[in-house]
Homo-oligomer: A and B are copies of this chain.
Amino acid sequence: MVNSNEQQNYRMKAFGDTGTKFRLERRSPAYWRVTFDIPPVNIFGPKNLPELNEIVTSIETDEQVKVVVFDSAIEGFFITHYNFLAKPEDEPNLPPGRTGLQPLPDMLARLSRASVVSIALIRGRATGVGSELALASDMRFASREKAILSQWEVGAGLVPGGGPMARLPRLIGRGRALEVLLGADDIPGDLAELYGYVNRALPDAELDSFVEALAKRIASFDKQAITETKRLVDIASLPTDAEIVPEWGAFIASVGRPASQTRLKALMERGFHRAGDVENRLGYYVGQVGAS
């Protein structure tokens, strides 16, 4: 899965026949990029778990990497919601996570605790899993014009499963976290900045160079100083695994209830899981499918 060709352009969209959806590019031994490419709209499903696990494991175990940037090769989408068309046989047979959490929240919790600085470069939609991965990263920078963050789940009768109830209130306060989670609407870049959902929203034309400069800067620093400083920040700012545990179970249970099945079906009929207006304006559509 790992692409060690450092010369390769990370914006290249055709990944050939590798089947790789998350491309890891080592821009230098200290600075890695992970680029999501799950056409057509970066829907994350159980089939993507082994690849994400391999990447997180590489980040945890490599002795040289200091900073990793997550971005997307798909126009309009960072990573969006979970794949509701996945079949039971798509579920990977992964060993229990080190944290004791289910696979996805386990990987996200491990990313947060890794001795590596993780940066989400958000252009397009970071909805559901995409928002959760961004929240598990150490920092988030968003395109002012092109980023949309959201936790859309409650709008479809679902409970989010990847940690946002634990992470959002710590980051942006209870009131704004409840608005994001219970309003379930699209949050554009500038509002995400005001709320602290992202570190900053930058003009789209400046976002890439800003993140590149920050990543190279951090890559030039001493790994031990980074590691020890981050670990001391973790004490006051990370939720415990125990606090995250109930989220995944609540998500799975909610998928099985009529309230979400009805809403997911209504969304599917309108074009959910395909490129188009429902995926582009999910906040709007979840506001339609439960209205009487």
What residues of chain A have their CB less than 8 Å away from a CB belonging to chain B? 117, 138-140, 153-155, 157-160, 165-166, 168-179, 181-185, 191, 193-196, 198-200, 214, 216-218, 220-222, 224-226, 228-230, 232-233, 235-239, 243, 246-247, 250, 254, 257, 259-260, 263, 287, 290-292
Q: Which of B154, B193, B225, B254 contacts A159 (CB 8 A)?
A: B225
Q: Give the number of times this chain occurs in the complex, counting copies.
A: 3
In the bound assembly, the distance between CA atoms of A89 and B216 in angstroms comes to 39
Given A158-B225, A181-B230, A220-B291, 20 other A-B contacts at CB below 8 A?
A: A138-B175, A138-B182, A139-B179, A153-B225, A157-B222, A159-B229, A165-B233, A166-B232, A170-B174, A172-B173, A174-B233, A174-B238, A175-B196, A176-B196, A178-B233, A181-B233, A183-B214, A216-B291, A225-B260, A232-B247
Residue of chain B at shortest CB distance from A67: B182
In the bound assembly, the distance between CA atoms of A139 and B236 in angstroms comes to 20
Given the known A-B contacts A220-B287, A236-B239, are A226 and B182 also in contact in the complex, defined by CB atoms under 8 Å?
yes
Contacts A/B (CB < 8 Å), 14 sampled: A154-B221, A157-B222, A160-B229, A165-B232, A165-B233, A166-B235, A170-B173, A170-B236, A171-B173, A171-B175, A177-B233, A183-B217, A184-B217, A185-B217
Cβ of A224 and Cβ of B257 under 8 Å apart? yes
Cβ of A229 and Cβ of B181 under 8 Å apart? yes
Contacts of A169 in B (CB 8 A): 233, 236-237
Contacts of A198 in B (CB 8 A): 175
Q: Is the interface of A mostly helix, strand, loop or mixed?
A: helix
A106 to chain B, nearest CB (A): 18
In the bound assembly, the distance between CA atoms of A36 and B163 in angstroms comes to 37
Cβ of B175 and Cβ of A140 under 8 Å apart? yes
* 4 tightest Cβ-Cβ pairs between the two chains A and B: A165-B232, A174-B237, A222-B259, A169-B237
A39 to chain B, nearest CB (A): 29
Contacts of A153 in B (CB 8 A): 225, 229
Cβ of A199 and Cβ of B174 under 8 Å apart? no
Q: Which of B159, B195, B228, B246 contacts A250 (CB 8 A)?
A: B228
Cβ of A138 and Cβ of B243 under 8 Å apart? no
A138, A157, A214, A222 — most chain B CB neighbours (10 Å): A222
Cβ of B154 and Cβ of A229 under 8 Å apart? yes
A134 to chain B, nearest CB (A): 9
In the bound assembly, the distance between CA atoms of A290 and B117 in angstroms comes to 17
